[in-house]
Structure 1
């Protein structure tokens, strides 16, 4: 009984932490150099940023 009293809350807590969805101030789609520059500038301005790109490499200058 003691084991299940400890195990169940641990499972529920860990599942709820995993299920949290990330929240960003800015989502940038694309991996070009302009997208990276925009992300860096937004971060300098204190925003949380994520870049989503279908490309394998960021920057687009190669």
Structure 2
């Protein structure tokens, strides 16, 4: 149960990064003017990882 809560919190963090992709690119990755393509790739990657993690947690962790 604890593992499930931690994984779901990680999903929430990844979704927040997806929502704030421009801030993430500028402050964390230190890219001064991120292009729209880069922002799209960050959003897509974080969303994909979050969904895969969520599905794996729901299927395998009981």
TM-score range, shorter chain: 0.3 to 0.5
TM-score, scaled relative to structure 1: 0.33
**Higher fraction of strand:** 1
Q: State which structure, 1 or 2, has the greater radius of gyration over its C-alpha atoms.
A: 1
More helix by share: 2
Greater length-normalized contact order (CA 8 Å, ≥ 6 residues apart): 2
